[in-house]
């Protein structure tokens, strides 16, 4: 067994032991798809000062740096794969989080899947292994990212459809879909995704530092709850990052740094100020993510606690103000 195979097997065991791979089909996919072929290089914080990044890559002539690259690829952590003008624009997501998202998508044999955010192509390869090349489409706005993803996918013998385009617009030419998985954070749900989904389809997307799973009723209606899993992704390009909601409010850092409260704060941003959000959170017994949900009904879209028609509801980004968005890769 080569070094990469041993490291891959160890990573799969680690993810499975965390409870993130309950479905044997997904465990087989993670065991079969070599992550290192999708991450030929990545960036880590350097030792030469704040803001400096070190590039580790598989063709480095230094054997110690090659070892660090390979071990880093098979560590359960996200990897920064593309940085432009000092800004992270694409990453390879944490494998255990990818596993939880894929499991939460609840795909079945024969399902067609759209991925928003091609990233390295690794997530598309896992989907293609679980389903079939012909059933998987991945879209990204950046032609450099899609070309790179195609190259990586070809290296492992996978050939899902890789499309260059605005992720917020989906991929109408390949619709309809049974499931849509999003690998970049969104402030709300683009209606194009609903219109390109079959009735009963699932949409899983990072929103407000959580993962919402929506069940689509028709092209104008969808509803669902958040998973318990926290999630931090690069924002859908053209939208504001959720971290902006964490500024100000006069709350102490110990409160603002609480991961669960950060979720509530970002979810209610624009409707409640930080103190109001904290008062609600305390009053309701510090509710977990699973008690929150999102409803899309025509032109209206709102988040809620416990009941979509209950007393605690907050509008998400109104459609009239939703920016034109483009998707960076996140997998």
- What single string gives the DSSP state of each residue in 190-206? -HHHHHTEEEEEEEEEE
How far apart, in whole angstroms, are the C-alpha atoms of residue 48 and residue 223? 48
Please report the pLDDT score of residue 144 as a whole number.
93
Q: What is the pTM of this model?
A: 0.91
Binned at pLDDT 50, 70 and 90, residue 328 comes out as very low
pLDDT at 322 over 60: no
Average pLDDT over residues 165-175: 96
Average pLDDT over residues 234-255: 63
Please report the pLDDT score of residue 247 as a whole number.
56
246 or 47, which is more confident? 47
169 or 91, which is more confident? 169
Token pair in block for residue 96: 């255990």
Distance of CA 314 to the CA centre of its chain: 23
Please report the pLDDT score of residue 241 as a whole number.
46
Average pLDDT over residues 40-51: 74
Binned at pLDDT 50, 70 and 90, residue 18 comes out as very high
Average pLDDT over residues 110-124: 96
Instruction: Find out whether 6 and 71 touch, Cβ atoms under 8 Å.
Output: no
Please report the pLDDT score of residue 251 as a whole number.
86
Please report the pLDDT score of residue 326 as a whole number.
39
Any idea what DSSP says for residue 217? Answer: E
Instruction: Please give the C-alpha separations between residue 280 and each of 11, 17, 29, 268, 287, in angstroms, as whole numbers.
Output: 40, 36, 42, 10, 10
Q: Which of 18, 90, 120, 148 is catalytic?
A: 90
pLDDT at 309 over 50: yes
Any idea what DSSP says for residue 180? Answer: E
pLDDT at 329 over 60: no
Token pair in block for residue 90: 């694409």
Instruction: Please give the C-alpha separations between residue 76 and each of 96, 97, 277, in angstroms, as whole numbers.
Output: 6, 9, 33
The rounded mean pLDDT for the chain is 90
Q: CB within 8 A of 289, min separation 6: which ones?
A: 210, 226, 227, 228, 229, 230, 260, 263
Please report the pLDDT score of residue 122 as a whole number.
96
Binned at pLDDT 50, 70 and 90, residue 88 comes out as confident
How far apart, in whole angstroms, are the C-alpha atoms of residue 63 and residue 262? 42
Please report the pLDDT score of residue 48 as a whole number.
54
Binned at pLDDT 50, 70 and 90, residue 253 comes out as confident
pLDDT (tens digit per residue) in 130-154? 999 999 999 999 999 999 999 999 9
Please report the pLDDT score of residue 321 as a whole number.
42
pLDDT at 325 over 60: no
Please report the pLDDT score of residue 244 as a whole number.
47
How far apart, in whole angstroms, are the C-alpha atoms of residue 309 and residue 122? 39
- Least confident interval from 115-119, 297-301, 320-324: 320-324
Is residue 154 flagged as an active site residue?
no
Average pLDDT over residues 51-79: 93
């Amino acid at each position: 067994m080569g070094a990469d195979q041993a490291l891959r097997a160890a990573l799969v065991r680690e993810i499975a032991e965390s409870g993130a791979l309950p479905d044997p089909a997904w465990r087989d996919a993670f065991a079969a798809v070599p992550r290192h072929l999708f991450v030929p290089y990545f960036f880590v914080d350097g030792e030469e000062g704040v803001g400096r990044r070190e590039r580790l890559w598989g063709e480095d002539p230094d054997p110690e740096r090659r070892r660090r690259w390979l071990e880093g690829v098979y560590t359960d952590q996200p990897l920064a794969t593309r940085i432009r003008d000092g800004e992270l624009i694409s990453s390879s997501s944490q494998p255990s989080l990818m596993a939880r998202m894929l499991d939460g998508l609840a795909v079945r044999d024969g399902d067609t899947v759209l991925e928003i955010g091609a990233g390295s192509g690794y997530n598309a390869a896992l989907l293609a292994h679980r389903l079939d090349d012909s059933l998987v489409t991945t879209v990204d706005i950046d032609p450099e990212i899609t070309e790179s993803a195609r190259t990586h996918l070809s290296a492992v013998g996978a050939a899902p459809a890789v499309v260059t385009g605005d992720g917020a617009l989906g991929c109408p030419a390949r619709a309809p879909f049974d499931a849509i998985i999003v690998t970049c954070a969104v402030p709300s749900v683009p209606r194009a995704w609903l219109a390109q989904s079959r009735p009963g389809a699932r949409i899983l997307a990072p929103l407000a530092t959580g993962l919402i799973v929506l069940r689509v009723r028709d092209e104008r209606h969808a509803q669902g709850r958040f998973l318990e899993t926290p999630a931090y992704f690069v924002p859908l390009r053209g939208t504001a990052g959720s971290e902006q909601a964490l500024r100000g409010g006069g709350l102490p850092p110990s409160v603002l740094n609480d991961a669960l409260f950060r979720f509530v704060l970002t979810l209610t941003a624009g409707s409640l100020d930080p103190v109001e959000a904290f008062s609600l959170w305390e009053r309701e017994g510090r509710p977990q993510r699973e008690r929150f949900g999102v409803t899309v009904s025509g032109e209206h879209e709102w988040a809620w606690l416990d009941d979509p028609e209950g007393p605690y509801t907050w509008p998400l980004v109104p459609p009239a103000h939703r920016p034109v968005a483009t998707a960076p890769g996140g997998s």
